[in-house]
Structures are given as structure tokens and as C-alpha cells.
């Protein structure tokens, strides 16, 4: 849930005619931020970013601009210490910053589960219409609109007169922005008259603040609604007559970027196949599933947590992942209740690209440059490719959330695995109760026996099959 609000004012340092200061955009952004703070006392105002993207004004005296890279870096520095459960509200006083800020906000929101960022529109249609009513026009740069705001802030004199000191044509490059001519006052409109009315400025300032506060409250409510809805990242498919598990429920969870990074997920799609003795014909949504008691208490629930293995699915004889998958699904079906979870942890979390290089060493004895270095075990290959034989970077903490969201965290599980480390890690990282473990039927042959021997040596796996 979003509990904290941080306000980041961003402006610019650029020519604003002969009568307004070069930091006009920054002043307006900071004053609006302080206005928001008065209405949202729990909000925290961050230090303002004084420079923006002002290349369109670079030919004007007093203009200093960031490059795009510098601007992005400055914003990212401001966000480093933002805690979880927070929203960053960017108060942008300069139109030239808008597109980069929107791009960064989208990227920031994608990367973070419980931290969000957005830039509300300051000059809404309501604000523009009010400016036209009061001032006769809405001039967005160095005109009566900004002059009246600065008059209200006490930074310029209300008494202005025509100033013929600075008259010039805009550079050709600026005509792309439809800024054909600076007026004698430096206003980006063909006018030599300027209004700076303190009372009008106060009305406009208060209207902007009210509009932004409303926008913040609406956005916070929308974000919290999404975050509180545990079903938003889940999809359900009621599968009938599966080849191995018959009728079952398929749940797909879309993991966040942070969950992918923490658990070594190589893509964000986690699949669960749920076999239940109950009638599933009326379970047609995640909400239906969470309201249903799926398993009978008299029996334990079989659980298989398997890593993705594309090569095994496509018939690689050096891997028995496919035969183990079928054996586990059939065991769950015969037993009557259980869950098969497919985690996208290809190559023990290292990815398919790594897995292909590892198998080329393990099976054929060649590195990626075609050098014959001799066949390597899975751990010798890892040592060559990674500089360490600790190849396994898989974690299972994302399952804690999934079990909790689906109401499955209190079931008594029997884990279908012979890997003591996985048994321990699942219990520790997910909080579920694993009462016991059961071995999986293995298809050991001359081509995959070396991998089994490595597992026995390195992971202390205990196979019942000779």
C-alpha cells in the first residue's frame, strides 16, 4: 500500500524575457510543491532539480541546459533513497522535460512493486480556461500567466511597461517548435503587452494546487486498489481431460521484475497445475478458487516444484526432466490431490543461453569458440563459464506470496523431490509445512548418468532407484 508521498519539483534555467528570472520554471514548481504540502501535511518535498532540458532556448542569454543523459541521472539520484510503499509526485515546471519524465516514470513503475512515480498535469484545461478568462490568453512561456504567478510570489513588480530592449527573431532551429518570434518582452507570442496581476496569480496558483492534490489522491487510490487486489497478476484456466492429470485448474502468475531478480526467474510466467477432488466446474476465476476448499483434510497434498527445461521438453536424451514431469503429474493424478508448479528457472536460474553453453561443454566437450577442452561435468562447466561451481541461483520466495494469495499456505504438503536443499529452502523461504518428501521415478541411462552422479556428490540427493 502507498503510505508515503514525496514531491520532486523540477524546473529549468533558461531565458524568460527581460522581466522574469531565468529560474522561473523552478520557482513555480517549488511554490506549487509547497502549496501541496499545506494540503497534504504528510508529504515530503525533495530538493528541487534546478536545470532541465532547455536546448530550444540555448541561443537565449542566461540559458543553461542538461543533456538528456545528465537529466536522467539527476532524477535517478533523487530517487535513490525513496522507501517502499511510496509515491513520487514530480512537479514539472518546464514543458521541455515532460517526455523524459513520463518515460522514466513508466520505467520506474515497471521496476518497482511498491514504489510508484507520476507527473500530474499542472496546467489542466480548467487552469488554461481560467487563465484565458482572467488574462485574455494562456501564454505558456514568459507571458502574463507566469508573470502573474511570480507577482503573487512577490518576485516581480506588478507594474510592468513595454520594453523594447530585446527584440530579435528566433533562430531557425526554434521554428520547429512554432516559436516564430519573440515579442519585445521576450514572450513567446507576438505581443508587446504583458499583464502581471498579483490577485490573478493567487487564483491561478490555488487552482493549480487544488487540481494537482485531487490528481494525487485519485492516483494513490487507484494504485492502492491495484496493490490490494491480490488477483490482478493471476490468470485461471479450467483445463479438462489433461493427458496426465485429467481435469485440473491451471493458475498463471505474472512475477514482478524484483521477484524475477530475487528468485533467479528467467521469465515472469509461473504456472501451477492444481488437482483437486472437488468439483471444479464452478471455479471460473481466481476469486472462485480462493473461496473454495480445494483439498480434503484427511489426505496430504502432493507438491512438485520443478524448474523449466526447454531442451528436456524437446526430447534431449541427456536430461530426464520431461520423464520426471510426466511421472509427477501421473502420481498427483493417481493420488487425487496435489499441485505441480513450473518455475521459469531455466539452467538453475542462469538462463537458456547459459544452459546451451554448459551442455556443449558437458555433452560434446567444446567451448563456444570451438575448442575441444574435453567433456566437463555440470560443475566443471560452471567453473569454466562462471568462475565458480556454484551454478544454482534459484530461490523460492515468490511462492510464499502465491500460496498466501491463493489461500494454500496452511496445507500439509508432501514434496516430490529427492533434493535435501530444495526441501529445506522451500520450507524456509515459503513458510509452508512440508511434512515429508517422496522420491521421483528416475529414468537413468548411459547419457544422463553423469548428471545424476554429480547431483549425488554435490547436492546429496538420495535416489531410491539403483
Q: Which of 95-99, 186-190, 222-226, 312-316 has the highest mean pLDDT?
A: 95-99
Residues 428 and 206: their CA atoms lie apart, in Å, by 54
Residues 389 and 199: their CA atoms lie apart, in Å, by 72
Residue 264 has pLDDT above 80, yes or no: yes
Which comes out higher in pLDDT, residue 452 or 370? 370
Position 190 scores a pLDDT of 43
- Enter the DSSP assignment of 236: E
Position 327 scores a pLDDT of 92
State which H helix or E strand residue 92 sits in.
strand 86-92
Which comes out higher in pLDDT, residue 457 or 267? 267
Q: Where are the alpha helices (DSSP H) in 291-374?
A: 310-313, 321-335, 352-359
Position 322 scores a pLDDT of 87
One domain, residues 246 and 221: no
Residue 270 has pLDDT above 70, yes or no: yes
The percent of residues in the chain predicted with pLDDT above 90, rounded, is: 50
Please give the average per-residue pLDDT across 329-347, as a whole number.
Answer: 94
- The 10s digit of each residue's pLDDT in 236-261 is 999 999 999 999 999 999 998 888 88
Domain boundary among 206, 228, 250: 228
Residues 59 and 173: their CA atoms lie apart, in Å, by 10
Q: Is residue 164 part of a domain?
A: yes
- How many angstroms separate the most distant Cα atoms in the chain? 98
Q: How far is CA 284 from CA 251, 291, 304, in A?
A: 11, 11, 24
Residues 304 and 422: their CA atoms lie apart, in Å, by 11
One domain, residues 246 and 265: yes
Q: Is residue 381 part of a domain?
A: no
Judged on CB neighbours under 10 Å (0-12, 13-18, 19+), 200 is: buried
Q: How far is CA 454 from CA 305, 307, 351, 439, 458, in A?
A: 20, 18, 20, 17, 6
Which comes out higher in pLDDT, residue 346 or 157? 346
Number of domains in the chain: 2
Marked catalytic residue, from 230, 320, 392, 405: 392
Residue 330 has pLDDT above 50, yes or no: yes
One domain, residues 284 and 430: yes
Q: Is residue 171 part of a domain?
A: yes
Q: Is residue 363 part of a domain?
A: no
Ranges 10-14, 217-221, 257-261: which has the least confidence: 257-261
CATH number at residue 292: 3.40.50.10990
Q: Is the dihedral of CA 234, 237, 242, 245 positive or negative?
A: positive
Please give the average per-residue pLDDT across 265-269, as a whole number.
Answer: 91
One domain, residues 93 and 37: yes
Average pLDDT over the chain, rounded to whole?
84
For residue 29, give the nearest of 74, 119, 88, 93 by alpha carbon: 93
Position 446 scores a pLDDT of 43
- The 10s digit of each residue's pLDDT in 112-156 is 878 999 999 999 999 999 999 998 888 778 888 998 999 999 988
Judged on CB neighbours under 10 Å (0-12, 13-18, 19+), 179 is: middle
One domain, residues 216 and 238: no
Q: Is residue 466 part of a domain?
A: no
One domain, residues 130 and 164: yes
394 is catalytic: yes
Are 373 and 367 within 8 A, CB to CB?
A: yes
Residues 394 and 381: their CA atoms lie apart, in Å, by 18
- The 10s digit of each residue's pLDDT in 374-410 is 998 888 888 888 887 777 888 999 999 999 889 999 8
Strand order in the sheet with 301-307: 234-242, 246-254, 269-275, 338-343, 301-307, 412-416, 433-438
b/e code 284-305 from CB counts within 10 Å (16+ = b): eebeebbebebbeeeebbbbbb
Position 138 scores a pLDDT of 84
Please give the average per-residue pLDDT across 308-335, as a whole number.
Answer: 88
Ranges 83-97, 334-348, 416-430: which has the least confidence: 416-430
Q: What would you report as the CA-atom Rg of the chain, rounded to the nearest whole angstrom?
A: 31
One domain, residues 246 and 301: yes
Q: Is residue 371 part of a domain?
A: no
Please give the average per-residue pLDDT across 329-334, as a whole number.
Answer: 95
Judged on CB neighbours under 10 Å (0-12, 13-18, 19+), 308 is: buried
Position 193 scores a pLDDT of 59
Centre a 10 Å sphere on the Cβ of residue 16 and count the other Cβ atoms it contains.
Answer: 27
Position 447 scores a pLDDT of 46
Ranges 163-172, 277-286, 322-331: which has the least confidence: 163-172
Please give the average per-residue pLDDT across 427-451, as a whole number.
Answer: 67
For residue 378, give the nearest of 295, 273, 450 by alpha carbon: 450
Domain boundary among 170, 202, 228: 228
pLDDT band, residue 448 (cuts 50/70/90) = very low
The percent of residues in the chain predicted with pLDDT above 70, rounded, is: 86
One domain, residues 41 and 70: yes
Residue 175 has pLDDT above 50, yes or no: no
Are 388 and 377 within 8 A, CB to CB?
A: no
Collapsing DSSP to helix, strand or coil, 280 comes out as: coil
Marked catalytic residue, from 288, 367, 394, 404: 394
Q: Which positions ≥6 away from 211 have C-beta within 8 Å?
A: 120, 121, 122, 124, 126, 127
Which comes out higher in pLDDT, residue 277 or 113? 277
CATH number at residue 75: 3.40.50.10310
Q: Is residue 357 part of a domain?
A: no
One domain, residues 292 and 210: no
Cα angle 178, 159, 152 (rounded to 5 degrees) comes to 75
- For helices 420-430 and 397-405, what crossing angle results, to 10°? 50
* Domain housing 42: 4-228
One domain, residues 149 and 289: no
Position 119 scores a pLDDT of 96
Position 216 scores a pLDDT of 95
Residues 51 and 100: their CA atoms lie apart, in Å, by 14
One domain, residues 98 and 8: yes
Q: Is residue 65 part of a domain?
A: yes
Residues 121 and 85: their CA atoms lie apart, in Å, by 23
b/e code 368-394 from CB counts within 10 Å (16+ = b): eeeeeeeebbbbbbbeebeeeeebbeb
Collapsing DSSP to helix, strand or coil, 86 comes out as: strand
- Enter the DSSP assignment of 406: T
One domain, residues 248 and 186: no
Domain boundary among 228, 259, 281: 228
Are 197 and 237 within 8 A, CB to CB?
A: no
- The 10s digit of each residue's pLDDT in 179-199 is 444 444 444 454 445 778 899
Amino acid at each position: 500500500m502507498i503510505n508515503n508521498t514525496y514531491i520532486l519539483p523540477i524546473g529549468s534555467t533558461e531565458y524568460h524575457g527581460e522581466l522574469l528570472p531565468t529560474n522561473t520554471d523552478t520557482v513555480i514548481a517549488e511554490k506549487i510543491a509547497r502549496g501541496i504540502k499545506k494540503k497534504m501535511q504528510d508529504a515530503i518535498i525533495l530538493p528541487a532539480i534546478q536545470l532541465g532540458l532547455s536546448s530550444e532556448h540555448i541561443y537565449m542569454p542566461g540559458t543553461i541546459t542538461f543533456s538528456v543523459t545528465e537529466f536522467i541521472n539527476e532524477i535517478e539520484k533523487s530517487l535513490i533513497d525513496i522507501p517502499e510503499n511510496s509515491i513520487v509526485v514530480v512537479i514539472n515546471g518546464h514543458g521541455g522535460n515532460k517526455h523524459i519524465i513520463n518515460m522514466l516514470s513508466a520505467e520506474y513503475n515497471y521496476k518497482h512493486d511498491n514504489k510508484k512515480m507520476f507527473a500530474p498535469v499542472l496546467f489542466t484545461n480548467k487552469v488554461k480556461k481560467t487563465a484565458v478568462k482572467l488574462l485574455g490568453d494562456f501564454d505558456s512561456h514568459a507571458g502574463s500567466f507566469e508573470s502573474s504567478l511570480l507577482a503573487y510570489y512577490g518576485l516581480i513588480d506588478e507594474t510592468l511597461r513595454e520594453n523594447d530592449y530585446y527584440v530579435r527573431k528566433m533562430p531557425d532551429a526554434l521554428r520547429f517548435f512554432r516559436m516564430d518570434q519573440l515579442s519585445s518582452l521576450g514572450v513567446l507570442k507576438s505581443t508587446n503587452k504583458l499583464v502581471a496581476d498579483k490577485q490573478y496569480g493567487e487564483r491561478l496558483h490555488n487552482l493549480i494546487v487544488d487540481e494537482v492534490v485531487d490528481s494525487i489522491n485519485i492516483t494513490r487510490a487507484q494504485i492502492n486498489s491495484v496493490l490490494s487486489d491480490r488477483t490482478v497478476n493471476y490468470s485461471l484456466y479450467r483445463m479438462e481431460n489433461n493427458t496426465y492429470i485429467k481435469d485440473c485448474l491451471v493458475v498463471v502468475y505474472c512475477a514482478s521484475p524484483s521477484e524475477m531478480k530475487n528468485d533467479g526467474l528467467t521469465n515472469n510466467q509461473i504456472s501451477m497445475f492444481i488437482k483437486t477432488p472437488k468439483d471444479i466446474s464452478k471455479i471460473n476465476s481466481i476469486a472462485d478458487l480462493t473461496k473454495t476448499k480445494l483439498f480434503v483434510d484427511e489426505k496430504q497434498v502432493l507438491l512438485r516444484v520443478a524448474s523449466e527445461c526447454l531442451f528436456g521438453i524437446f526430447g534431449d536424451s541427456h536430461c530426464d526432466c520431461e520423464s520426471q514431469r510426466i511421472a509427477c503429474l501421473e502420481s498427483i493424478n493417481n493420488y487425487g490431490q496435489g499441485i505441480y508448479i513450473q518455475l521459469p528457472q531455466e539452467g538453475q536460474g542462469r538462463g537458456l543461453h547459459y544452459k546451451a553453453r554448459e551442455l556443449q561443454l558437458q555433452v560434446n566437450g567444446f567451448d563456444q569458440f570451438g575448442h575441444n577442452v574435453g567433456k566437463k561435468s555440470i560443475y566443471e562447466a560452471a567453473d569454466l563459464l562462471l568462475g565458480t561451481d556454484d551454478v544454482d541461483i534459484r530461490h523460492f520466495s515468490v511462492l510464499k506470496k502465491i500460496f498466501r494469495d491463493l489461500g494454500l499456505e496452511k496445507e500439509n504438503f508432501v514434496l516430490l523431490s529427492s533434493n535435501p536443499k530444495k526441501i529445506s529452502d522451500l520450507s524456509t523461504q515459503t513458510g509452508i509445512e512440508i511434512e515429508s518428501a517422496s522420491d521421483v521415478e528416475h529414468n537413468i541411462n548411459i547419457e544422463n548418468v553423469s548428471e545424476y552422479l554429480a547431483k549425488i556428490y554435490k547436492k546429496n540427493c538420495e535416489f531410491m532407484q539403483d
